Chain A
Amino acid sequence: MSLHLPVLIVVLLLAASYTVPLLDRYRRGLTLPVTILSLITAFISSLYLLYLIGVQGPFVYHLGGWPPPWGIELYIDYLAVYMLIVISSIGLLVIIYGAKDLLHEINEEVLSWYYTLYLLLMASMIGIALTNDLFNLFVFVEISAIASCGIISAKADRRCIEASIKYLILSALGSGCILLAVAMIYMITGNLNFDYVAAALPEALKLYPYNIVIALGLFVVGFGVKSALFPLHVWLPDAHSSAPSPSSAVLSGLVIKIYAVALVKLLFRVFPPQIFEAIPILDVILFLSVFAVMAGSIFAMVQDDLKRMLAYSSIAQIGYIFMGIGLFGGRALTGGLLHIFNHAMMKSMLFLAAGLIIYATGIRNLKDLKGIGVRMPWTMGAFAVGAFSMVGIPGTSGFISKWFLALGALDLNRPFYVAIILLSSLLNGIYYFPIIIDAFFGTKVDPVSEFRDVPALMLIPVLILAAGVIFFGFYPKPLLDLVNKAISF
């Protein structure tokens, strides 16, 4: 049983996603429980896998018993399990929230299709985290791209359709790059398995240096588009802000990061270290991340729409993760990977909180949010926690990731990047804090005419995430141990 567990997680989620439309036809009430149950199972299995690799170390799983180079291989190491836990935990909380929220955001007929797409997305992300095969990676990347598009356009709204088409086109461009890169690697090495490719590349680098450099460049561009690395981010603000709130939460919280992780795997496990001498790809990533961090924050400052502001903030935050990758110096990468989970918590919480506000009042414009904290103290309290974490106030998890990023930058004797991190934190403060101030202080009249009470089921995931932000701000040790093991390539 335990031997098949890695693939079973993916299979279970895929099976559930195909069952949901069937259930929708015959037992509509069961669609949601099946979705939630399968995600709970995925979460528990991820924890079990963590225990398993703690006992026996990282292991490989051969799909269908076919050994590589013929069969597909899954590699269950700490990085994969870390991502599994991030994806399944956040994914579970978001869908619990979505159970109520989606009822009013999308049509009832497409509700079960939404669950299908959601589960597909989860399955494909877990697949990306686990796979050890280039072509398999591409397949999962494609599934997740289509599923992401689906959960954006599920809302029958002109802006959503437009945003999802924009996303589809750019994402297809990214997929094309990735496919091309995979093809080039296959052409050179004759292998698709990560380990086999990694073994062949140092030799091949001498024969075909340009092909490998181009393949690497295509990977960076492909995954860069998908994870919205500046200046390839243009699709993100539309897509993430117009989508239904649960979609925004998973898209900003999880989807853009899994591609960054895929890139980490390729950069540090597949490509030989000599490649960094041939082409300063890490420096390129680093420069782009600096622009991402600054530009994302500056764009966010001028937004009027709450969710659009959060979307731009995601561009800045993904910049931190790429900065950790670019500063590949031990502690910076720790910070970058820690930030994957920390930002997943913060940003999905912020999007869900924004969703709660929209659910209760219908207000999206920042100027109209004055005094909202009086009506929704818990929601805005959670929002405040998220904002503090974004700024990096100590005691929140955002501080820990910034701490490690900054230490990593100092280890490499590059205090410039510390200054960038701090400057962007200040910018974060400048656009997040006025929202909180306006929400709680300054207005004595209640601005909201129509107010719908928020169901507890929607509020609880937000509060759990807020508690998580504080908990991991004071006790990051379990995460830190996991991440430190994950980056020992």
Chain B
Amino acid sequence: MESAIFNFLPIWVVMFPFFMSMIILIISKRSEKLRDGLSVATAVVTFLSVAAMYPFIISGEIISYTIFDILPGLGITVRVDILSFSLAAIASFVWMLVSIYSIDYMSHEHGGDRYFPIFIFTLGSTLGIFMAGDFFTLFIFFELMSLISYVLVIHEETKEALRAGYKYLIMTIIGGLALFFAIILTFELAGSVSLNEGTLIHAPSTLAFFAFLSFLVGFGMKAGMFPLHVWLPDAHPVAPSPASALLSGIMLKTGAYGLIRVVFHVFNVSVVKEAGWDVLLGVLAVITILLGSAVALTQLDLKRRLAYSSVGQMGYIILGIALLNEKAMVGDVFHIFSHALMKSTLFLAAGAIIWKTGLRNINDLHGIGKKMPVTMGAFTLAALAMIGIPPLNGFLSKWTLGLGALEAGAPFYVVVLLISSLLNGLYYLPIIIAAFFGGEHEEEHGEGVKVKISEASLKMIIPIAILALSCFAFGLMPNNIAFELSVKAASFLFNGLP
């Protein structure tokens, strides 16, 4: 009885948003209030439904079954293990907060009638990726999410947005076709693409290498891995800020999730090591980290800088996969949590600033911290976490990643992590310093004049504050659920059952 409920939950958390997005689409013509309310309610219910799986999953159970077969050996299947659960939980948590934020943000924008149904639909397809039981199902939801989020990217419908969107779309198609190639090669070699088999391809071969390479292109494209990141810095800043938060915070992680699954379920650690593919991953990760951070330095548009920072941060996650040991994997999964929280805080805060003042250029943000102390406070907290200041969550993930690198006998990677932290500091700290200590109106007002506080609306501030505080709460704190989940997920990936 009890397990029947848990078996039903994965389908529910995917289908419920799909269903609700239709309802929202219909209702949005009638009433805006109802539309907003329903969107938030859907996101909340979805998060609670995901969270309800916690006791079952944490006890080491795996939900796994086939819904129906499309072709022999190829069907729509469900599988929730601790890794899926972790990602689904963080995704639906951030989604819930962003949905609240979106209400006021979108009231200033056009096309809310289109935004909210798509927003909720994307939630369903993202969760579908995490709940998928085989690569084929994963692929379906992956394509669904990628294509539908195109609408979020080009929401503003400016020339710039359309150009970025077109780039995004073409790259998405290329990525999708690469995945198709990878999946069909795996199917040909192994006769199955299920995640339940453990290892599908047991020995490296030319075809297996092509499969790995295609997976890398397909998922790496989404994850913003060098040299396939070119769409990301264009697409993420042009989207409305809540959508950017999700694109950078959550949807990039689907690529990382896919890569983890490829390394551990299509192949296994020893195959990847034997074939030397981890070196390839490592090199790409290092370039991604350094390139993302370095280019972010040169960006003057706030959201563009954040987007490049995402490229760098995704490099950490790919690095964590490349290290191929349990400790690094803990850091890796935990960094997925951390970065989701940090980056969505940053994007939402940037969104609040743009919403309130219309300023996007970093040079114009002098003194903004005095006007919007809560927003900039949250921004600061998340930025410090990004740099890796203890006791915030970013520190913990870097620390664990660093330990993993040492365990792998590669102190070189630790140096890379430190350099990139330095770079992070170089591009985040000036914003913060200028925001709080630089005053643009000094000449006009003189010292001592109190700047009037004008924050964004409460519905926007609260999600930002919650996200920023969770950067703190999931740092060096006792009872860190996120860290526990990461430890369990990593041990599950390496040793089977937790």
Interface residues of A (CB under 8 A from B): 388, 391-395, 400, 402-403, 406-407, 410-411, 415, 418-419, 422, 425-426, 429-430, 433-434, 437, 441-442, 444, 474-477, 480
Contact of A476 among B70, B136, B184, B187 (CB under 8 A): B70
13 additional A-B residue pairs with CB within 8 Å, beyond A406-B181, A437-B169, A477-B70: A395-B144, A400-B70, A400-B71, A402-B180, A406-B184, A407-B188, A422-B177, A426-B173, A433-B169, A434-B166, A442-B162, A476-B70, A477-B71
Q: Distance (Å) between the CB of A410 and the closest chain B CB?
A: 4
Q: Which residue of B lies closest to A474 (CB)?
A: B70
Closest B residue, CB atoms, query A444: B157
Look across to chain B and name the residue whose beta carbon is closest to the beta carbon of A424: B177
Q: Given the complex, which residues of B lie within 8 Å of A400, measured CB to CB?
A: 70-71
Among the interface residues B143, B157, B173, B187, which one has the most CB atoms of the partner chain A within 10 A? B173
B140 at the interface (CB under 8 A from A): yes
Partner of A418, one of B140, B170, B184: B184
Please determine whether A407 and B70 come into contact, CB atoms closer than 8 angstroms: no
16 pairs across A/B with beta carbons < 8 Å? A392-B180, A395-B144, A402-B180, A403-B71, A411-B188, A418-B181, A422-B180, A425-B173, A426-B174, A429-B173, A433-B170, A437-B154, A437-B165, A437-B169, A444-B157, A476-B71
CB-CB < 8 A to B166: which residues of A? Answer: 434, 437
With most chain B CB atoms within 10 A of its CB, the pick from A394, A403, A407, A475 is: A394
Contacting A at CB under 8 A, from B43-85, are: 69-71, 76
A394 B140 Cβ-Cβ under 8 A:
yes
Q: Which residue of B lies closest to A411 (CB)?
A: B188
Which B residues fall within an 8 A CB radius of A? 69-71, 76, 136, 139-140, 143-144, 147, 151, 154, 157, 162, 165-166, 169-170, 173-174, 176-178, 180-181, 184-185, 187-188, 207, 210
Q: Is the CB of B184 within 8 A of A410?
A: yes
Rounded to whole Å, the gap between the CB of B176 and the closest CB of chain A is 7
Chain B residues whose CB sits within 8 angstroms of the CB of A411 once the complex forms: 188
Tell me the smallest distance from the CB of A479 to a CB of chain B, in Å: 11
When the two chains form their complex, are residues A407 and B184 in contact, meaning their CB atoms are under 8 A apart?
yes
- Pair A430/B140 contact, Cβ less than 8 Å: no
> Which A residues are CB-close (under 8 A) to B185?
410, 415
Choose one: A393, A395, A415, A444; the contact of B210 (CB below 8 Å): A415
Closest chain A residue to B179 by CB distance? A394
Are A480 and B71 neighbours in the complex by a CB distance under 8 Å? yes
Nearest 10 interchain pairs by C-beta: A429-B173, A410-B188, A422-B177, A394-B140, A406-B184, A442-B162, A393-B143, A395-B140, A442-B157, A441-B157
Give complex CA distance A422, B162 in Å.
Answer: 25
Q: Which residue of A lies closest to B207 (CB)?
A: A415
Taken together as a complex, chains A and B put the C-alpha atoms of A403 and B173 apart, in Å, by 16
A394 and B143 contact, CB distance less than 8 A: yes
CB contacts (< 8 Å) of A403 on chain B: these are 71, 184
Residue of A nearest to B139 (CB): A394
Q: Which residue of B lies closest to A430 (CB)?
A: B170
Q: Knowing A403-B71, A410-B184, say if A437 contacts B143 (CB, 8 Å).
A: no
Complex contacts, A430 vs chain B, CB 8 Å = 170, 173
CA distance A391 to B180 in the complex (A): 11
B177 & A407 in contact (Cβ 8 Å cutoff) = no
CA distance A400 to B70 in the complex (A): 9
A292 to B76, CA, bound (A): 34
Q: How far is the CA of A184 from the CA of B180 in the complex (A)?
A: 45
**Complex Cα spacing A419 to B170, Å:** 17
The distance from the CB of A393 to the nearest CB of chain B, in whole angstroms, is 5
Q: How far is the CB of B314 from chain A (nearest CB, A)?
A: 24
Tell me the smallest distance from the CB of A471 to a CB of chain B, in Å.
Answer: 12
* A434 / chain B contacts, CB cutoff of 8 Å: 166
Nearest CB in chain A: distance from B207 CB, A: 7
Distance (whole angstroms) from the CB of A176 to the closest CB of chain B? 41
Nearest CB of chain B from residue A214's CB, rounded to whole Å? 38
CB contact under 8 A between A426 and B136, given known A415-B210, A437-B166: no
CB nearest neighbor in A for B206: A415
Query: Roughly how many angstroms separate A418 CA and B180 CA in the complex, as a whole number?
Result: 10
Q: Nearest Cβ in chain B — how far from A10, in angstroms?
A: 34
Supposing A442-B162, A444-B157 touch, asked if A393 and B184 sit within 8 A by C-beta, the answer is no
CB distance from A292 to the nearest CB of B (A): 19
Q: Is the CB of B154 within 8 A of A441?
A: yes
Q: How many Å from the CB of B210 to the closest CB on chain A?
A: 7
Residues of A close to B178: CB separation below 8 A: 422
The CA of A118 and the CA of B333, in the complex, are separated in Å by: 63
The interface residues of chain B lying within 8 Å CB-to-CB of A418 are 181, 184
- Of residues B71, B177, B207, which shows the largest number of chain A Cβ atoms within 10 Å of its Cβ? B177
Question: Are A426 and B177 CB-contacts (below 8 A) given A393-B143, A442-B157?
Answer: yes
B147 to chain A, nearest CB (A): 7
| Min C-beta distance of B358 to chain A, whole Å | 21
A394's contact among B136, B151, B162, B165, by CB below 8 Å, is which? Answer: B136
Bound: A391/B151 CA distance, A:
18
B178 to chain A, nearest CB (A): 8
With a CB–CB cut-off of 8 A, which chain A residues contact B76? 474
Q: Which residues of A contact B207 (CB under 8 A)?
A: 415
Q: Which residues of A contact B157 (CB under 8 A)?
A: 441-442, 444
The answer on a CB contact under 8 Å between B170 and A429 is: yes
* Chain B residues closer than 8 Å to A474, beta-carbon distance: 70, 76
C-alpha spacing A129/B165, complex, angstroms: 46
Chain A residues with CB under 8 Å of B210's CB are: 415
Interchain CA distance A403-B135 in the complex, whole Å: 14
B151: A residues at CB distance < 8 A: 441
Q: Which B-chain residue is minimally distant from A434 (CB atoms)? A: B166
In the complex, A166→B301 CA distance in Å?
Answer: 58
CB distance from A359 to the nearest CB of B (A): 27
Q: Smallest CB-CB separation from B137: which chain A residue?
A: A394
* Pair B136/A441 contact, Cβ less than 8 Å: no
A488 to B444, CA, bound (A): 88
Contacts of A392 on B, CB cut-off 8 Å?
A: 177, 180
Cα A418 to Cα B179 in complex, Å, equals 12
Q: How far is the CB of B193 from chain A (nearest CB, A)?
A: 11
